[in-house]
Amino acid sequence: MRFNKVLQVAAGALALAVVATGCGGGSDKSAGDNAASGKLTVGIKYDQPGLGLHNKDGSFSGFDVDVAKYIGTKLGVKPENITFKEAPSAQRETLIQNGQVDFIAATYSITDKRKEKIDFAGPYYLTGQSLLVRSDNTDITGVESLNGNKKLCSVKGSTPAQNIKDKYAKDVQLQEYDTYSLCVEALKSGSVDALTTDDIILRGYAAQSPGALKVVGKPFTTEKYGIGVKKGDTEIRNKINDAIEAMIADGSWKAALEKNFAGTGFEAPAPPQVDRY
């Protein structure tokens, strides 16, 4: 009887362990361990033209994708051995904390609040928040014209959405969607008056819908895009910082921007200085 009891307890413990492992969906290995094995999982956006896009043929394209591939190469991982995983704005910290991704390159603004949960390498790009409207719109010309209870769309968990809540909540109705592509569709249909996020993201959407959408006004915030990594993983953060500096120095950074925004009138800005905090 005692032997059977021991077997039952052991089986129960094993079942609990299996369940716990299955629920996590992540990995206990560090990003460095995974890179050493020749494979990486990287979080990107799937719906941002010019930055992070999951194409119809299953491929991925965009500046963030090229940055991730360059970093992967410097970490010893071939581009074909990188698995790209969708990283919606509201889920990015969780994906990193749970080990579901090794790092995230997804128009990820560096903020003090986010640095409480994760660490950042970079920045690898500097931008600012702007407004996207329909081409026939004459009412909204910039942030100074955000009044009259206009409907403004942004994404849940994003820095631009929080900026609007903090500074313009009395002037507009903020509509928060899960993705920017849903905001774009709402803008085209007339369900919202404008979309707000970082200027470079909006220019990608405007280029994707020529004649239908336009970017208005000047950027009214400063955003620093960083590479999100697990909190306390100083080794991988330093290696990614080295890779970003190398990408800027050898011309690959500028070339990636020019390739991904060719024909849009976009001009590559001066590269940022990496923060070795």
For the segment 205-232, what is each residue's pLDDT rounded down to a tens digit?
998 898 999 999 999 999 999 999 999 9
Q: Are strands 129-134 and 213-216 parallel, antiparallel or unpaired?
A: antiparallel
- What is the amino acid identity at position 130? S
Amino acid letter, 7: L
Cα–Cα distance, 244 to 9 (Å, whole number): 51
State pLDDT tens for residues 251-260.
999 999 999 9
Edge-to-edge, what's the strand order for the sheet holding 223-230? 82-86, 40-44, 103-104, 223-230, 118-127
Q: Token match 């942030």: residue? A: 143
Quote the pTM value: 0.84
Q: What CATH fold (topology level) applies to the domain 129-216?
A: D-Maltodextrin-Binding Protein; domain 2 (3.40.190)
Q: Are 132 and 214 in contact, with CB atoms under 8 Å apart?
A: yes
Burial class (CB in 10 A: 0-12, 13-18, 19+), 221: middle
pLDDT digits (tens, 9 = 90+) for 79-111: 999 999 999 999 999 999 999 999 999 999 999
Host H or E run for residue 45: none
Torsional sign, CA 117, 123, 124, 128: positive
Q: Where are the domains of the chain?
A: 27-126+224-260, 129-216
How many Cβ atoms sit within 10 Å of the Cβ of residue 110?
20
146-198: per-residue pLDDT in tens? 888 999 999 998 999 999 999 888 889 999 999 999 999 999 999 999 999 99
How far is the C-alpha of 38 from the C-alpha of 166, rounded, in Å? 43
Whether CATH 3.40.50.12140 fits 27-126+224-260: no
Domains 27-126+224-260 and 129-216 share a fold: yes
Give the CA-trace dihedral at 113, 253, 43, 89, to 10 degrees. 40
Residue 170 has a pLDDT of 86
The token duo for 189 is 């249909």
